[in-house]
Amino acid sequence: MAQQANHALPAGYQIDEYRIERQLSLGGFSIVYLAVDGEGRRVALKEYLPNSLALRGEGEITPNIAPEHAGAFRYGMKCFFEEGRALAKLSHPNVVRVLNFFRANETVYMVMDYEEGWTLQEYIQRRQKPVSENFVRNVFTRVLNGLREVHTHKLLHLDLKPSNIYLRSDGTPMLIDFGAARQTLALDTPMLKPMYTPGFASPEHYQRENLGPWSDIYSIGASMYACIALAAPQAADLRKEKDQLVPAMVRWEGKYSDQLLETIDWCLCINHLYRPQSVFALQKALTEAPTAKPARKPKVDETRSWLGALVGKLKKNETT
């Protein structure tokens, strides 16, 4: 089935105890709505509807699923439902809270807290200039608090990027729009187009193997890089062919502390064995106090030997 946009459910539509107000976002895997529950509380309602497997036309309620895609659709629905069940067990200020999940209209829905604010991506776009070091450290230290809780529950996010880091109106961040169900479906359904974002997806996303906490950590590094560069770094699959990504330590030396830039580069190592293997190791590096910046900027042709030394140094820190 060719991928095409699905039509959202109409405003005012009542589903279970929730009344839809408007569409918040539309992606290749789901549609998210702003809705109101029976007590008048606003919630975010996420509907499982992969456009590569199902199509819903204007004015329709239930998706149309071709017989050859029915098995994959049901499997993805199960993954989505199980992800909702797992996330509902989490209670952390830096992770979106899942309130409910249910079946209706021949698909499944996940109900989450609705928060006023904007995504980190929207913040970067509005700002139009690199963020400060304090901003990077403060936001991502708290993001990592949430991610550590996720990993503790044997879950992965697998779609970390600035548009999936939500800044509440008071500035506190939280992780939203988990991608583990999407990746599970894509891994087990070869006919599906992979569901990840170039620049933020780890090399393991492309290889469809060896996914682990280090894969989320790569995406954290890419997100920090993007906050400073105002653009996504080079895609991991292209880096494996010809790595043209200028290391943070080379690109912004003298503008940010060595510790921050080294930490970003550590996260962005192509080989997952050279990255931080746990959120704890990354947090330790990110919270390290900055020191004085060196005067000389390293040349680009020194980068490879410098990176080798960096990996050795940081891996040593990880074990201490």
With a pLDDT cut of 70, the percent of the chain lying above it is 85
Q: Taking residues 282-287, report their average pLDDT.
A: 94
C-alpha 204/C-alpha 213 separation (Å) is 11
pLDDT at 74: 92
CB 55 within 8 A of CB 64: yes
pLDDT at 27 over 90: no
More confident residue, 311 or 70: 70
User: Average per-residue pLDDT in the chain?
Assistant: 89
More confident residue, 313 or 286: 286
- Tokens coding 35: 């809705």
pLDDT at 170 over 60: yes
Q: Taking residues 168-184, report their average pLDDT.
A: 87
pLDDT at 42 over 70: yes
pLDDT at 208: 81
C-alpha 99/C-alpha 83 separation (Å) is 13
3-state SS record for the chain = CCCCCCCCCCCCCEECCEEEEEEEEECCCEEEEEEECCCCCEEEEEEECCCCCEECCCCCCCCEECHHHHHHHHHHHHHHHHHHHHHCCCCCCCECCEEEEEEECCEEEEEEECCCEEEHHHHHHHHCCCCCHHHHHHHHHHHHHHHHHHHHCCCCCCCCCHHHEEEECCCCEEECCCCHHHHHHHHHCCCCCCCCCCCCCCHHHHHCCCCCHHHHHHHHHHHHHHHHHCCCCCCHHHHHHCCCCCCHHHHCECCECHHHHHHHHHHCCCCHHHCCCCHHHHHHHHCCCCCCCCCCCCCHHHHHHHHHHHHHHHHHHHCC
More confident residue, 35 or 185: 35
pLDDT at 118: 96
pLDDT at 203 over 90: yes
pLDDT at 301: 46
CB 109 within 8 A of CB 102: yes
pLDDT in tens, 119-130: 999 999 999 999
How distant is the alpha carbon of residue 60 from its chain centre? Answer: 31
pLDDT at 196: 79
129: exposed, middle or buried (Cβ count in 10 Å: 0-12, 13-18, 19+): exposed
For the chain, domains (ranges, CATH) are 14-113 (3.30.200.20), 117-318 (1.10.510.10)
CB 172 within 8 A of CB 296: no
Residue 318 binned pLDDT confidence (cut-offs 50, 70, 90): low
Residue 276 binned pLDDT confidence (cut-offs 50, 70, 90): very high
pLDDT at 187: 65
pLDDT at 209: 85
Residue 302 binned pLDDT confidence (cut-offs 50, 70, 90): very low
Q: Any idea which residue has 């309130």 for tokens? A: 99
pLDDT at 113: 96
Residue 306 binned pLDDT confidence (cut-offs 50, 70, 90): very low
pLDDT in tens, 100-126: 999 999 999 999 999 999 999 999 999
183: exposed, middle or buried (Cβ count in 10 Å: 0-12, 13-18, 19+): buried
Q: Is the entire prediction scored with pTM above 0.85?
A: yes
Kindly report which listed range (3-12, 140-149, 222-231, 280-289) carries the lowest average pLDDT score.
Answer: 3-12
pLDDT at 259 over 60: yes
More confident residue, 156 or 188: 156
